Amino acid sequence: MIQVSGYAAQHAKGGLAAYTFERRNPRDYDVLIYSILWDLPF
């Protein structure tokens, strides 16, 4: 599994907040996009 971060509403009428979740491993027909910029300290 791949640990990823995104934004999600915790409640039906709530605002978006940071959210961490796991995605399944990429399959043969999937595209995995990785950005080196995410690793740079700004």
pTM: 0.51
Question: Tell me, what's the pLDDT at 16?
Answer: 93
Question: Tell me, what's the pLDDT at 11?
Answer: 92
Q: What is the pLDDT of residues 1-42, one digit of tens each?
A: 888 888 999 899 999 999 999 988 888 998 877 766 555 565
Question: Tell me, what's the pLDDT at 26?
Answer: 85
Instruction: Report the run of H or E that residue 27 belongs to, with start and end.
Output: none
Q: What count of other Cβ atoms lies within 10 Å of the Cβ of residue 2?
A: 10
